[in-house]
């Protein structure tokens, strides 16, 4: 005679076990989603860096062929900056000689949807005092730099230090001619 196996009518998961598993899954998905957001921000920042590097190369090519950098409008304080975004294109008109001279195919626009969705370009004539710094070097004055390109990153990163009036901008990224 074969022995009959007993079945357990209470077989299954308890509510506590289900809550623990659900909590663990929620925690893991939160960590993954937040790290994806950081990765996307860094990716967008990298894209901006690449775009401004192309503008910087075009500025240097233009300098080699013409002997000067495109100048922004100067005012009593020693210069003015020009921003480039989808709404304001003053930088685009200032840098248009780069396109017409063949140094770059088009001036890039930054992606929309950021707290400050702009690229900035500024030049200063020698002998004026300006309160911008890129990588610790002053923009303007006799020993200064002729231009600065900069933008604000989404996340603070270890990049060339941008400073205004001696105050470091933790999420600013800048380029200059040296």
Q: What is the mean pLDDT of the chain?
A: 75
Mean pLDDT comparison of 16-30, 77-91, 95-109, 127-141, highest-scoring range: 16-30
Is the entire prediction scored with pTM above 0.75? no
- The dihedral formed by the CA atoms of 49, 100, 146 and 122, expressed in degrees to the nearest 10: -60
User: By the 8 A CB rule, do 152 and 168 touch?
Assistant: no
Burial (CB < 10 A; 0-12, 13-18, 19+), residue 121, is buried
Average pLDDT of 63-86? 64
pLDDT value for 77: 42
Asked if residue 135 has pLDDT above 80, the reply is no
Asked if residue 32 has pLDDT above 60, the reply is yes
pLDDT value for 153: 82
Question: Which band of pLDDT confidence, cut at 50, 70 and 90, is reported for residue 165?
Answer: low
Which of these, 110, 163, 146, 109, lies nearest to 173 by C-alpha position?
Answer: 163
């Amino acid at each position: 005679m074969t022995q009959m196996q007993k079945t357990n009518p209470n077989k299954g998961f308890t509510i506590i076990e289900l809550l623990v598993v659900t909590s663990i899954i929620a925690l893991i998905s939160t960590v993954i989603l937040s790290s994806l957001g950081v990765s996307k921000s860094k990716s967008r920042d990298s894209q901006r860096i690449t775009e401004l590097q192309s503008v910087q190369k075009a500025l240097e090519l233009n300098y080699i062929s013409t002997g000067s950098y495109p100048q922004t409008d100067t005012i009593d304080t020693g210069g003015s900056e020009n921003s480039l975004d989808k709404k304001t294109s003053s930088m685009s008109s200032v840098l248009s000689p780069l396109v017409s001279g063949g140094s770059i195919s088009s001036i890039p626009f930054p992606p929309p949807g950021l707290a400050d969705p702009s690229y900035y370009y500024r030049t200063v004539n020698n002998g004026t005092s300006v309160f911008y710094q890129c990588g610790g070097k002053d923009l303007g004055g006799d020993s200064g730099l002729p231009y600065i390109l900069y933008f604000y990153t989404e996340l603070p990163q270890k990049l060339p230090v941008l400073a205004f009036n001696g105050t470091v901008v933790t999420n600013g990224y800048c380029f200059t001619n040296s």
